[in-house]
Amino acid sequence: MAKADMIGASLWDAYSNKVTTLMNNPRYQGEIFEAEAESRGHKLIVADFGAESCGDAVRLYWEIDPNTDTIVDSRFKSFGCGTAIASSDVMTELCIGKKVEEAVKITNIDVEMALRDTPDVPAVPPQKMHCSVMAYDVIKKAAGLYMGVDADSFETEIIVCECARVSLGTLQEVIRLNDLKTVEEITDYTKAGGFCKSCIKPGGHEAMDYYLVDILADTRREMENEKMKAAADAQAQGNMKFEDMTLVQQIKAIDAIIDESVRQFLIMDGGDMEIVDIKKNEEHFDVYIRYLGACNGCASSSTGTLYAIESTLQEKLSGYIRVLPI
């Protein structure tokens, strides 16, 4: 087989059988005329959307029952590649029978998944994923026309990866929670950047407003700044006299000492304790505690244990601390 034929064959194999079938035999291609819809007491919505990056365009027809806001019929016209035709056909099918508010929740991922032959194998090569994104955008356009609102109002978050519908907020949160350090890790966790790859860095299939490389760098920088600030705060608090701390700082300082030097011994005996309140009483700081578990009612809780807790806090924080059980 010639090299060109081998390349052509491998590209063709990247499309699912459903896609290749619908490219040539779409089931919902066509028009709905206003007179037809009106004769059935329905409202016709016609929405157009074009993708500047590839020149593809799609026109979506919705025949809607205004009494129930249900899309009773739908058709499309597509001006573009075969993938755009197949995506538009499945998108049209997914709309039929849904209320407008339900249809607007259909995403490009839903369209692409419906085009797959098997759940784990993508229906199209990564560079063609934008065709299903176009289907998603024309749905928003049609819903906006019917509901009398701007199509952008359906988008409540900044979408970074159009292919996987991953938002800026989700990416920042995932990076923070999982301490991600590479774009590859971001893709593994979120699928962002796993399709057309335009959102990874400048120079891809489409120009984007946000790129994963920048989001990762900015978020990592913020994380480092927060870590440095937390360390500085901890050091400042460590150098601060207990008497000069705020009530919240005093409680945190006492909790830290209890965790470090006391709590493990209480837990070994089946008990525990908690700080209830701190009150300034002339020169003293009265720390009110509550015993939990086996410590509650134990004889030593008001003698040896209490003395040990008070002595530890006086040694490590302030000699003016008094511990009072309640």
Say which DSSP state 145 is in. H
Q: Is 196 a catalytic residue?
A: no
Q: Is 199 a catalytic residue?
A: no
HSE-CB at 289 with a 13 A cutoff on CA atoms is: 27
Tell me which of 54, 163, 196, 199 is the catalytic residue. Answer: 54
Q: In sequence order, what DSSP letters do the residues of 271-300 get, joined into one string?
A: EEEEEEEEEEETTEEEEEEEEEETTTT-GG
HSE-CB at 150 with a 13 A cutoff on CA atoms is: 4
Tell me which of 131, 163, 196, 199 is the catalytic residue. Answer: 131
Task: Identify the CA nearest to 288 among candidates 304, 276, 272, 274.
Answer: 276
Are 205 and 128 spatial neighbours (Cβ–Cβ below 8 Å)? no
Are 64 and 42 spatial neighbours (Cβ–Cβ below 8 Å)? yes
Are 127 and 204 spatial neighbours (Cβ–Cβ below 8 Å)? no
Which residues are known to be catalytic? Answer: 54, 131
